[in-house]
Each structure stands twice: as C-alpha cells, then as structure tokens.
Chains A and B, each alone.
Chain A
Amino acid sequence: MKFSEDKLKVVGEMISHYPEGKQKSALIPLLHFIQKHNDNWLSPEALDYAAELLNITPIEVYEVATFYSMYNLKPVGKTVFEVCQTGPCMLRGSDDIIAYIYEKLGIKPGETTTDGLFTLKVAECLGACGYAPMMQLGPDYREHLTKEKIDALIAEGRAKAN
C-alpha cells in the first residue's frame, strides 16, 4: 500500500492539527481516511501502513483499530446497512427493519450477501433517537425507516453496483 502525493498531502494536513511530536493523535482520522480508500476496510497491510505514516509501532495501530466499531477489519459489501437497535429505536420498530432486511436479502447481522453487494450490521445508539428507526449508510444517516424505504435503499445499492 502506498499513497499518492495528493493523499500524502491530506495526511500532512491531518498531522498539522497537533503540536510537534504529537502526530499519533492523527491515528483515528487517518484510519478513517485509509479505510475510505481501501474498499471500506482495514487490512493488516493497511494498518501497518498507518503505523509507517505516523512513525509509530504497528501494535499501537492494532490496539486502536480493534477498539472502535467504525473500523471494518474484514472486507464488507459495497453497501453496508448499519441498523441501530438500541432502546429508543427498538421502541419505534427497529426489530422489524432488521427482520425485513433478512427477508429481502437473506442476511443476518454480521453477514454479507453472496454477491458481495450488501452487508448488514447492527449498531448501538447512533444519536438519532427522535428520527427512529434509522440506519447509518456510509457517511450519512437514513431516518424514519419503513419497509418502502428499505426497498428503495436496496434498489439504490444495486444501481450503484452496476
């Protein structure tokens, strides 16, 4: 893995947010950036590259990558549905949404469709309780979910892949 000059400039800008010698603080934003440009997951090579970019040891990167839920340590589908299932979303029917995705795509939480298009994850509270049920879809939220909206999101995911 090796970044182009343009991407290295972005990394340099990240590091400039902190005082001299505190470049390790850039690790979390850097891992987001690498994941974005690595098919939405962090391979062992990607983690080692992060260590190299920040001049820290690989174990410091592994510790962090395994702690936070937004990092994918295995390949994921092209579209990832992360459906919130915590109390407030449960009160507004998140269980039905998860069941409906299973009905339509045949995947349970943690699974990916055999064509590699969709991954279903369950998430704990995403801070959208007033707009429940909801899911995270890439960098955005999809709120007030209904079966019709799930149908549309599946169609959108299929269209994106073609």
Chain B
Amino acid sequence: MGRKLLLDKAHIEGIRHYDVYRREGGYRSVEKVLKGMTPEAVVEEVKKSGLRGRGGAGFPTGMKWSFLAKPEGMPRYLVVNADESEPGTFKDRFLMEFIPHLLIEGMICASFALGSNRSYIYIRGEYWWVKEILEQAVQEARNAGWLGKNILGSGFDCDIFVQPGAGAYICGEETALIESLEGKRGNPRIKPPFPAVKGLWGCPTVVNNVETIAAVVPIINDGGEEYAKIGIGKSTGTKLISACGNINKPGVYEIEMNISVEEFIYSDEYCGGIANGKRLKACIPGGSSVPILPANLLLKTAKGETRMMTYESLSDGGFATGTMMGSGGFIVMDEDQCVVKHTYTLARFYRHESCGQCSPCREGTGWMEKILLKIEQGKGTMSDIDLLWDIQRKIEGNTICPLGDAAAWPVAAAIRHFRDEFEWHITNPSDALVRNYGLANYAKPLEVMPA
C-alpha cells in the first residue's frame, strides 16, 4: 500500500467536521507555523519539498511563492483555484467534499507565508454543495479561532471566503479566474504583468490549485525533506489521480509517484483493470488537453522502458511519443471506443469554452469541431485530416492563454497516433456508422530501435 498524505483520513466518520478533524491531529501545522516559523521559513520548507503545482502545469510551488512582489502598504492575496473543469479531473472535488479542513489548514499556512490577510477559494459554481461544505468548514475554523484577528496570539490576521464561479472552464486559467473574482467575464489577461506582481484588484496575488495547498500541511508537519523522499527525481510526494472511463474502479486515488502506469491501471489497489474483460486501447493520463497515447506507448516509452506515474516519465519522448501528468485526470478507453468520436467531444468542449478573445482559438476550435463531426459521421475526405492538422498548428502558441494549446494538443495527438483510424472512417464511411475501428495494432508491442 502506498503512503497517503492527503486522503489517509478522508474516510474517517465525521472528518468533514472540525471536532473530528482536530481530534485526528488537524491544524497542527498552523500551530507549528504561527508559533515558531517565519514566513520565509515556510516558503523555504515548501521549496525543499520539491512540491510542484498540482493543477496541471507542474511549476515548483516554492519558487512561485518566492516571486510574489511585496510592495509597502499594498495587500497581497492567496487565491485557491478550485475551478476544476478539465475533462477527466475530479480530484479536488473529492478532497474538498470529504476533508475540507485540510484545504483550510493549508490555506492558513500558505496565507501566513505569503502575507495574505484575506484569502479566497474560487470554486466552480456547479460544485454548489461542495461550496456549502467549505463555507461550513470555514465557519467552524473561524469559531475555533483558526481564522480571524491575531490567530493564536501571533499577530497574524487571516480570513477565508468562498467564491463561486458560474460555469466557465476558462476560469481555471489564473488570470481569467482573477477577472471572474473581480466580477467580470473570464477573459484571460495578457502576461506580463504576472499575478505575482499585479493580480487580484491590481495587487500581488498567488493562485494555487486545491491539492497543492493541501499538500502544504504534510510538508509543514513532517518537513520538506521528508516529503521530497517520496517519489522519483523531481516528482516528489504524492499525487491525486482521478481515474475514469472504461475501468473497473473509477475514482480518486492518491499515489506515491513511484508506481508504473501498468500497475495503476491493472492493480486492484487502483483502477482494477479494464471493465467487462475488454482490452486497453488508449489513455489520456492527465486531463483532456494532454496528448492521448495508444496502449503500447502508454505502458512503455519509445525507448522500451516501463512508463511510470511521474511528471518526467509520462512526458518522456516529448509530444512525439509521450504525454503529460497534467492535472491527473486519467481517462481510459477500451477496445470498443472510437478515438475520432472521443476527440470530437473534446473539440466541442473547447469550442464551447473558448472565451473568444483570440481569433485562432475562437475560430479554430469551431472548425476543428465541425471537421471532426464530419469525419465521425462518415462524410470526411482525406484532405480533412491535413486540414485538421493545419488548424491545430495555427492555434498552438498563438493565443493569450493556454486554452488554445489545450484545444490543439488532443487533436494533434489523436492524428499523430491514430491516423489510420481517421483514414478508416473516411474510406469506410458506412462501416464507421455502425461499428468502431477496434483495437487494431494499438496494443502491439513496439519495436525498440537500438540506441
């Protein structure tokens, strides 16, 4: 059994409430921080832990914190990104729903480190009941003296507010989130200036994912060095993976970043194998925007090495033969699934969620959706595949925010690895309407070129 630092107590009866959470050792990290550490020491501990942003980008958290500008007389803000909307991702919801005080505890430590006296949780509006759970937990923490003025006599003031969104994937992008928190449309801002300099209401702001902030609690309790001992290389600590699709046990799993992808999919501790006795065809391991891989490239890298559940191993081979850890939204597809159709649903998603500021994304996502639907419905032509490739190339890198890249990558990877499935749809249109292409060669072992 792997160690669990975040969810080890999530199943204890009543842990959602303060009394039980406290009895189980909750809020110790706040005592440690406020009674004996400086803000700089907290940042240093997080740096030592090697913790990387758990929202998708994987940027080192301690470094992000150290970039925060500290001009005299200007407030600073911590904003927790709970806008979880990347298809395949539902890990933060699990954490907030079952162990909300862990997030609040982490936020108090992080707020102290950053000097934020007013911190926000921006949660997607659809998670309405989770918002209510968080609000209740915040109130309990306030009543118990962990929030408010002069916490534990330290002179540090902090309060937390929960802000709902209203249905917009783009608000998971940090500058769009800030715009939304200011009561505006979620249009991403041009960077620089970065939020660390000019964020919420023009003040220095750090935006961190829910899981990232929760991980601060074990880092403070056990020390950054202990945390960094878990995992492999620069993939330290544990990671929440939300697994879905055609597996026996969909759900949220906390893994130590030292297990193989194969173990994660097939072991009974995690996904429990492919459902209904089917075979694995493909997987998108890090949320819908990261490249899809066929089974053979998923389980082994192009070099023939076992692929591991780490940032480095998942991206081994670059986009040519690798993918990304992303948000940990692990989407598994069995042999009966159609990659063209799945890619079409993702293209439709990104078209729906494009904020419309940048022409390549606004226009390109609509084009991709239409062409993919045409191919899926057996009306495509061979030149459509090249046109799709061309459109995604013209979106990538040409937009203010990463939604453009996020929309382009799944289409690119689907064509890169499943081109024969696209071609089959075009050359066998009547077949494609009644059956799927199937497993084909996607699970066949790859020939490894001698080094």
Contacts and interface: CB of A to CB of B under 8 A. Distances in A.
B40 to A, nearest CB: 26
A25 B181 CA distance: 6
Contact of A124 (B93, B166, B337, B349): B349
Contacts of B181: 25
Interface centre among B127, B163, B244, B252 (most CB of A within 10 A): B244
A127 B93 CA distance: 8
Contact of B87 (A24, A67, A88, A136): A88
A64 B284 CA distance: 33
A27 interface: yes
B382 to A, nearest CB: 25
Contacts, number: 145
Tell me the dominant secondary structure on chain A's binding face.
mixed
B169 interface: yes
Given A127-B90, A130-B242, A68 B165 contact: yes
A32 B245 contact: no
A145 to B, nearest CB: 14
A68 B331 CA distance: 26
A116 interface: no
B346 A139 contact: no
B128 A139 contact: yes
A156 to B, nearest CB: 17
A129 B88 contact: yes
Nearest to B352: A124
A69 B84 contact: no
B85 A125 contact: yes
Given A64-B185, A126-B126, A86 B246 contact: no
A86 B183 contact: no
Nearest to B275: A92
Contacts of B346: 86-87
Interface in B166-197: 166-169, 180-186
A67 B185 CA distance: 6
A32 B87 CA distance: 24
Contact of B342 (A22, A27, A87): A87
Contact of B182 (A25, A67, A136): A25
A131 B349 contact: no
Interface centre among A64, A69, A136, A141 (most CB of B within 10 A): A69
Given A19-B201, A129-B250, A130-B250, A88 B168 contact: no
A87 B353 contact: no
Given A86-B87, A88-B87, A29 B352 contact: no
B166 A129 contact: no
Given A32-B125, A129-B245, 9 more contacts: A17-B163, A29-B163, A63-B184, A67-B185, A68-B167, A92-B245, A125-B87, A136-B126, A139-B129
6 contacts: A19-B201, A28-B183, A90-B341, A91-B333, A129-B89, A130-B252
